[in-house]
Amino acid sequence: MNLSPLAQTAGLLLLSNVFMTFAWYAHLKDASHKPLWIAIIASWGIAFFEYAIMVPANRIGFAGALSLGQLKILQEVITLLVFVPFAVLYMKQPLKLDFLWAGLCMMGAVYFIFRS
């Protein structure tokens, strides 16, 4: 199967964002009672995998037709797509209409950065 650079980039960024979200936020639920240094080391351990996936994703995207701005906006949209289910399902936060408004703002950013 031969995926386009955009599809490869988006897929890798989606996977890296799962690692990123857990590295940045899961310790708030799972390690809040542990010393800060443990949370930092655990987060860095998880973040290693995020970077190991994100760096090739950005290289593929940049070499394959996406501008730097397009890569950044794609990353932010994917971040929101990963973060909302994480916040609601894993962190047990309420689903707020604010997530929709943030998503609509991101769609505006997508329009402006990809329109040319």
Rounded Cα–Cα distance for residues 114 and 32 (Å)? 40
Domain boundaries, the chain: 5-114
pTM for the full model?
0.89
SS3 4: coil
Tokens representing 37 are: 């240094």
Rounded Cα–Cα distance for residues 32 and 26 (Å)? 9
- pLDDT at 58 exceeding the cut of 90: yes
| pLDDT band, very low/low/confident/very high, at 98 (cuts 50, 70, 90) | very high
User: How many Cα atoms sit within 13 Å of 89 on the Cβ side?
Assistant: 8
Rounded Cα–Cα distance for residues 96 and 51 (Å)? 30
- 56, containing H or E segment: helix 36-63
- pLDDT at 99 exceeding the cut of 80: yes
